[in-house]
Chains A and B, each alone.
Chain A
Amino acid sequence: DSGVTQTPKHLITATGQRVTLRCSPRSGDLSVYWYQQSLDQGLQFLIQYYNGEERAKGNILERFSAQQFPDLHSELNLSSLELGDSALYFCASSSGGTGPNEQFFGPGTRLTVL
């Protein structure tokens, strides 16, 4: 158990809908990261937050947004869902914002868009 929790574990929804994925980092960690794992794209970095502020952005679609709250939990919002958004979404956390911080991964949320 990494100490990072993600809810829900599974999510099935229809095209055009909006969903919210939630992540709680390990106790004391200030950074939260979101990654997408799909069969065709592999593991891709989406976005990083550090202590409530956006720190780095990857290939995140405009339909996707995220935020980190004062209690350090984070939410990833996916809207106008398409079939291609079906993937495993991982959250990870680390203690710092830059430098060689080890990232601890949650169990993931499997999103299926029908």
Chain B
Amino acid sequence: AQSVTQLDSQVPVFEEAPVELRCNYSSSVSVYLFWYVQYPNQGLQLLLKYLSGSTLVESINGFEAEFNKSQTSFHLRKPSVHISDTAEYFCAVSGDWKAAGNKLTFGGGTRVLVKP
């Protein structure tokens, strides 16, 4: 079985400050990792994904995440946040194809509030 833990339920941060959202996963098989963002009253949008290759993945809007297999982590970072980054961020894992098809297992979410 797979599981995902997001260690912080809320992260307040000032505009232009850096932010790190922590994500740890548990799985008995090789995994694929995702970060999704949910803006208020909207659906989920894919922010970035790790499938294979380089362990550092980047998004077009300045976020990056690093896959660390030994620490079973996939933390999300941004060096300088904007007010528009206020949202809830979800870490997700998939990979147990035989047992679970292509389902995503989500963490509990981290609510980021960017203050001016």
A44 to chain B, nearest CB (A): 8
Which has the most chain B C-beta neighbours within 10 Å: A44, A96, A103? Answer: A103
Q: B45 interface residue, CB < 8 Å from A?
A: yes
- Select one of B45, B49, B102, B107 contacting A105, CB under 8 A: B45
Bound form: Cα–Cα A92–B103 in Å: 10
The count of chain B contact residues (Cβ–Cβ below 8 Å) is: 24
User: Is A42 a contact partner of B101 (Cβ separation < 8 A)?
Assistant: no
State whether A90 and B43 are in contact (beta carbons under 8 Å apart), knowing that A42-B108, A102-B49 are contacts in the complex.
yes
B90 within 8 A of A: yes
Which of B34, B46, B102, B109 is A33 in contact with, Cβ under 8 Å? B102
**Does B45 lie within 8 Å of A2, measured CB to CB?**
yes
Chain A interface residue count, Cβ-Cβ cutoff 8 angstroms:
30
Is A31 at the interface (CB under 8 A from chain B)? yes
Across the interface, name the chain B residue whose C-beta is closest to A50.
B101
Q: A100-B32, A102-B49 are in contact. Are A33 and B108 (CB under 8 A)?
A: no
Chain A residues numbered 10-55 whose CB sits less than 8 Å from any CB in chain B? 31, 33, 35, 42-45, 48, 50, 55
C-beta contact mask, B86-99 vs A, less than 8 Å → 1, else 0?
A: 00001000110100
Instruction: Enumerate 20 A-B pairs (CB-CB under 8 Å) in ascending A order.
Output: A2-B43, A4-B43, A31-B102, A35-B104, A42-B108, A43-B106, A45-B104, A45-B105, A48-B101, A55-B101, A56-B100, A56-B102, A96-B102, A97-B101, A98-B102, A101-B102, A102-B34, A105-B36, A106-B43, A107-B42
Chain B residues in contact with chain A, CB under 8 A? 32, 34, 36, 42-46, 49, 51, 90, 94-95, 97, 100-109
